[in-house]
Structure 1
Amino acid sequence: MRTTDVYSEDAALIGERQAAARALMAHPLLTERARPTEFALVRSHAEWLVQRFHRVLGYRLLVAEDHARLVKRGPAAAAGASFTRATGVRFTPRTHTYLALVLAVLVERTGPTTARELAALVREAAYDAGIDADPARGLGERRAYCAALSHLVGLGALTETGGTVADHAADAEADPQLLPHTQAVRSVAVHLPRAADDPDTFLASASDPDPDGDQQGETALRRLLAEHAVVLREDLSDRQRERLAAHQWRAAAALGNLLGCDAEVRAEGVALIMPDEAEVPGGFPSDGPVGQVALALVRHLSGRLNPGRPATSVPVPDRELDTALEALCGADAPARARWARTAGIEIPDPDRLAGLAVELLAGLGLLRGGPGRWRLSAAAARYGTGADDTAPRIQDNDEDSRTHLAGTSGAGSAVEGSPHPPVDPRGDLNRVASVLQAVANEKVSATSGDPGDHRGPGDDG
């Protein structure tokens, strides 16, 4: 007689639920047409996902017949990911305008349409709103309009039933047939502004980084951990820093139960480590030229800029950064020849590639500051500390060929007259002993604590 392995079945069930949760975090609008496998998982575990997202993160999950929408609040709703074209170029304000106009037209349309018919409706909507926009007025306008349509096609909110949007972008006479999926279209934007909202008020209402209540504050911390590559203690308010020290392992347990991730807790901050197969927004590390240059750059800087003592960040000399970027992605960089042999990869010109790599690291919080005042975050060390030999050495202060920042009298102090802020501005690293004691105490409570099942924000009774 065949016996059933209950533990294996439970592990498979948990794995499916966590994979579905990760898919929703990466793609808050998940449609059956664009991602059928992930959507099938979400439909299968809809009840569990609805409850867990509400209890752990305070997010609302809506599951319909052909799509699922995770309604986020907090840092994800306030910042939002930048929309990009297929080439990786960010949407211009003009393209965002056309996206808003197309959505305004499609939310009331239920039947098939064409690109040119829709363009006429968009022109009328723009006139009614007092906006100067006409998709038929020149190549630039048409391409911005088509980029908005392509974005909706990629989301699964719009289907090309005859021809493609790219055909219309290349030829104004081409008129591809389109089928809008009205319910999915209405779910593209979920935090609709009111008539009296200005942009700043609207964004502020979507996020409260430091709520008064303990339960709301812990939920806000979980959102930070789930939505950011790393959360540094020095970036938090005093109240949230105390909450993180007291509840970091309970938050890690709740997020691990939901997303199947591990937590890396250090004195300078906390990071969630997703499974290898997880799809992470932003794609880092990735196989493309931008991701590869960014990874090589952060590894090189981590190996070269060693402060020689505990620090939450370290200054990046401009010459060091420019020289490394020239060696890693300049016109003569060996990697460019390797990328050229790979079909289908766009290779940006050296200046643009360098800018995109730095922008990616800044978005992940691994590089902080700005031009002329860049600092390398301590979180960069987890990607390795091997200096790249292809980048010429700029400073050689010891036998290790690493740059040691001299002149400081200890963590948290700054050199007199130095333009850089102290390496430990809030004294985190001087209180490592207390942090480790809190970690030890919380590990004990985490094993028996609530992994996300306790009463969530907004629960009645």
Structure 2
Amino acid sequence: MEQYEYATGPGEGAGGVTGGRGAGAGQLTAAVRADVHLALAERLATAEAEAAHELFTAAFGLYGARHLGGTAGAEAAQLSWWHGPTVRVPQPRRAGRGARRAERDVVPAAELLPAGSRRGRHRKPEQAPGSTPHATAVERRTAARLLAAHPLVTAAGPHGAGFRLIRRHADWLAERFLTVLGYPLTIGDSYARLHKAGLPGRGLAGFGPAGYAELVRALGALAEGRPAEITDEAVRRLLAHWRVLTQHGADHELARALGPLAAPAAGTPALAVRRRLAESPVVLLDELSGPERAWLAGREAAEAALFADFLGLEAEIRAEGIALLDPADELTDLAGGDGGTLTQAALLLVERLVEELRPLPEESAPPAVLIPDALIDGALGDVTDEHGAQWSRGYLADLAGFRRDALELLRRMELIAPAGRAWVLRAPAARYAAPLEVQPGPGPGRHSRRELNAAG
């Protein structure tokens, strides 16, 4: 809560920004003051790297939802992930598919035709967008998914067609996001801005304390209508990507809309749990507070239905917790940027770790187990021996960097988690392994360290 209040000023929560067509812009503009930007920039500049990530996220909430793909069978609330249905390692997906595919596939075709384009004389007239209850529901879900993946959507940006859907269903979207997640929605003539709450681990890639500080100072200057002094090209590129900087100058209204005003902290267990479900790959029960677990108990099916209707997500309910999955593999920022090598290697690695460390059915099923450090090296050596001929040469030339990046991807997928200087393997990782087969004896690869299991 301290970070949120520092970013917005005490008592200046975002609850007054109720969304709707153009709603909230006045309150938002009034709340964004030069001293807030300058004070926040100063604190970011002097923060440690991890603290800077968390502070920026707490102030701006500009991150996308992060969900796993694929389904592993029907709900089985009493079944452990360690022993339940699995999805095998998927083929790497093409980079950039993301939420753009949902926009391309679902936006009514009538909107995508150039003005005045001819139609075949035998073609039946198309129905107006949203003219049936089903079409309306599809449009609303598409718009909500776009905002969940991209909390800033601009008319001139890559999701311009989706922005039209957001404008069309502005009131419904504002009400649903505020009711379900406590997220205010601000919509202007050329932008839509969803105000998410702070969440650890969701900073901007490639940014550190100095970059964050320059970004906030630049936004502050542009919000006041002044030129911004920008020396960091990453800051300039990001502001151009956000359409704050354009070929014709700067969009000062959008700069004000992007001020440090994230959603307020969750005031109820319901909001806290729903935010984690909506934004995170996995929610483990043992990581929830007592009131949060009590609220969720018995509500798993109802919450699954709510998010299926709202965001098109499918629930995987297990004894250890819940994962809301996106079978379309769109509501995620987890794709590797190397064309698939990193993603494939990480999932093969986690498959080997599960095979070595998964508890047997007659044993207790903890939410996570400690990973011996040598086992990581052995398993990664095995999968590199077997699959490395098809992978990027750059990674194979730097095995230490390969190891670091693979573990970081698995951490972002929440399949592993840091435990001091070690790692733990979380139960949901087993969904990417082969079905359990009890085969005593040494592991299959020459680098494996199966004898370390007991010592771990």
Fold match (TM-score > 0.5) = yes
- Give 1:200-215 correspondences, 5 Å limit: 206-208=264-266, 211=267
Query: How far is 1:287 from its partner?
Result: 4.4
Query: How far apart are 1:248 and its partner, in Å?
Result: 2.2
Matched, 1:226 2:226: no
1:68 pairs with one of 192, 210, 213: 192
Distance 1:52 1:348 in 2: 49
Q: 1:241 to 1:2 in 2, by over 3 A?
A: same
What is the aligned counterpart of 1:272 among 301, 316, 324? Answer: 324
- SS across alignment from 1:276: coil
CA contact (8 A) 1:252 1:263 kept: yes
User: What is the DSSP-based 3-state SS (H/G/I as helix, E as strand, rest coil) of the residue aligned with 1:98?
Assistant: helix
Q: What is the aligned counterpart of 1:106 among 222, 230, 246?
A: 222
What is the aligned counterpart of 1:312 among 329, 351, 367? 367
Per the alignment, residue 117 of structure 2 pairs with none
Unaligned runs of at least 5 residues, structure 1: 85-89, 111-117, 123-134, 136-141, 162-177, 193-204, 398-402, 407-417, 421-461
Distance 1:333 1:146 in 2: 40
- After superposition, the Cα gap between the structure-2 partners of 1:368 and 1:107, relative to the gap in structure 1 and judged at 3 Å, is same
The residue correspondences of 1:248-327 to structure 2 (distance < 5 A) are 248-283=300-335, 287-308=339-360, 309=363, 310-327=365-382
Tell me the distance in 1 between the aligned counterparts of 2:411 and 2:397. 19
Question: Hey, what's the Cα distance between the residues in 2 that align with 1:230 and 1:348?
Answer: 33
Q: Deviations over 1:224-268 (max 9, x none)?
A: 111111110111112211111132222222222210111111110
Q: For residue 79 of structure 1, what is the amino acid of its counterpart?
A: P
Q: CA deviation at 1:109?
A: 2.3
Cα deviation for residue 368 of structure 1 reads 1.8
CA distance in 2, matches of 1:157, 1:333: 47
Q: Which runs of 5+ in 2 are unaligned?
A: 1-123, 437-442
Report the AA paired with residue 33 of structure 1. A
- 1:18 deviates by 1.2
Size of the aligned set, in residue pairs, is 323
| Partner residue, 1:196 | none
Match of 1:147 in 2: 234
Of structures 1 and 2, the one with the larger relative CO (CA 8 A, separation 6+) is 2
Describe the superposition over 1:253-295 as per-residue Cα deviations: whole angstroms up to 9, x where unpaired. 2222210111111110011011315231333799433322222
Equivalent of 1:48 in 167, 172, 182: 172
1:321, distance to aligned residue in structure 2 (A): 0.4
- Determine the C-alpha separation between the residues in 1 that align with 2:139 and 2:446: 48
TM-score (norm 2): 0.62
- From 239, 245, 249, the equivalent of 1:179 is 249
Q: 1:382-425 CA distances to partner (integer Å, 9 max, x unpaired)?
A: 223379x995352457xxxxx8x56xxxxxxxxxxx8x7xxxxx
How do 1:71-150 and structure 2 match up within 5 A?
Answer: 71-73=195-197, 77-79=198-200, 81-84=202-205, 90-109=206-225, 118=227, 121-122=228-229, 142=231, 145-150=232-237
Aligned partners of 2:388 and 2:396 also within 8 Å = no
Hey, what's the Cα distance between the residues in 1 that align with 2:161 and 2:395?
Answer: 28
Q: Aligned partners of 1:289 and 1:3: how far apart in 2?
A: 44
Partner residue of 2:58? none
When residues 97 and 372 of structure 1 are mapped into structure 2, their CA distance, relative to the original with a 3 A threshold, is: closer
Are the structure 2 counterparts of residues 157 and 3 from structure 1 closer, same or farther at C-alpha, using a change threshold of 3 Å? closer
What residue number does 1:392 align with?
A: 446
Q: Distance in 2 between matches of 1:43 and 1:273?
A: 27
User: Which structure would you say has the larger Rg?
Assistant: 1
1 CA distance for matches of 2:400 and 2:323?
A: 31
What is the rounded CA distance, in whole Å, between the counterparts of 2:296 and 2:397 in structure 1?
A: 41
Question: How has the CA–CA distance of structure 1 residues 239 and 262 changed in structure 2, closer, same or farther, with 3 Å as cutoff?
Answer: same
CA deviations on 1:59-78 (whole Å, 9 max, x unpaired) are: 111111111001123xxx24
Output the amino acid matched with 2:290: D
1:373-388 alignment runs, 5 A limit:
373-385=422-434
Matched, 1:362 2:411: yes
Cα gap change, 1:10 to 1:181, in 2 (>3 Å): same
Provide Cα deviations, 1:289-346, integer angstroms capped at 9, x if missing partner.
33222222222212232211323222211111012234446xx785465435xxxx99
Q: Residue 30 of structure 1: which of 150, 153, 163 is its match?
A: 153
2:183 corresponds to which residue? 59
Q: Distance in 1 between matches of 2:201 and 2:312?
A: 23
Residue aligned with 2:249, SS = strand
- In 1, the alpha carbon distance for the partners of 2:168 and 2:150 equals 17
Identity of aligned residues (%): 31
Whole-Å Cα distance in 2 between the matches of residues 15 and 146 of structure 1?
39
Coordinate RMSD, CA, aligned: 3.5
Normalized against structure 1, the TM-score is what?
A: 0.62
Whole-angstrom CA distance in 2 between matches of 1:338 and 1:390: 21
Distance 1:32 1:102 in 2: 22
Does the 8 A contact of 1:59 with 1:71 survive in 2?
yes
